[in-house]
Amino acid sequence: MMKVGVHVSIAGSIANAVGRAGNAGCDTFQIFSRNPRGWGYKPLTQGETSAFNDALAASRIFPVVDHMPYLPNLASPREDVYEKSVASLISEISRCGALGIPFLVTHLGHHLGDGAARGRERVIAGINRAFDAADDNVILLLENTAGEKNSVGSVAEEIREVAEGVRDASRVAFCLDTCHAFAAGYEFRTEEGIEETFSKFDREIGLDRIMLIHLNDAKGACGSGLDRHEHIGMGAIGEEGLSLVLQHPLLRSLPFICETPVDSRRDDAGNISKVRELAFRGR
């Protein structure tokens, strides 16, 4: 069965996210386990973790995915930011372990002009430190970035180089974001483009190591470097391109999570419905 979901809010309590996911029609869903816009956070209580796990068990929604907050930057040359970023990664792995969440998604960050190679070295060192400090049964998913200035991990080769530097390969896999890949210059709109794109990712990182798809349409053109998500089928990738992604034989069994807008044009349930429509178009 195809698993489709969205990113949902934890407002009120983290357990509330489960009900919101169910109301939207999710088979899977993604959260921030805490406020994503600040460094500070409160530790999870036993009551919070129990309520979340009870609600999740009753819902039969799986898997749940956690996403790192916005501020951490594992590629940063600024020592204070880097140390806080590593500490945030350690904390988030531990929070996933307490909540029974199997996957944690992280961007690889921005090197701020210090050079991609040095940025990758810092990311690798930070992940290794985090794995040494947080020995939980959580897989860290490295997400591709959109080709913005000074970004790390916009191309498959860079993501591979980071993964190869991680000492415990069993604890790291990949999340492919379609908007980010398209913005970084990977083509999805034609069968030929899909074949070339996935051949590159298969050669560099292995499609079998992609554990999650962030299925997002894009507001920017192919190769624009613009990290702006659009409703499914309403952006530059379009319905045909996203249908090709959804029907790729090596991806159909993966969870697909949309990080799309909620506005007057469409809500989360509408995007989930559109994904299911495109997944079976022409079949």
Query: At what angle are helices 156-165 and 191-204 packed, to 10 degrees?
Result: 20
Do 5 and 56 touch, CB atoms closer than 8 A? no
Which residues are annotated as catalytic?
37, 67, 70, 107, 143, 177, 180, 214, 227, 229, 259
Q: What is the Cα Rg of the chain in Å?
A: 18
Sign of the dihedral defined by the CA atoms of residues 10, 11, 15, 16, in that order: negative
- Tally helices (H) and strands (E) across the chain: 9, 10
Structure tokens of 38? 């600040």
Task: For residues 93 and 100, give the distance between their C-alpha atoms in angstroms, rounded to a whole number.
Answer: 10
Q: Comparing C-alpha atoms, which of 117, 133, 91 is closest to residue 106? A: 91
Do 65 and 138 touch, CB atoms closer than 8 A? no
Query: CB-based contacts of 180: which residues, under 8 Å, 6+ apart?
Result: 143, 144, 145, 146, 147, 154, 214, 216, 227
Task: For residues 16 and 25, give the distance between their C-alpha atoms in angstroms, rounded to a whole number.
Answer: 15
CB atoms within 10 A of CB 138: 22
Residue with tokens 């869903």: 29
DSSP-derived secondary structure for 96-109: HHHHT--EEEEE--
Task: For residues 37 and 64, give the distance between their C-alpha atoms in angstroms, rounded to a whole number.
Answer: 21
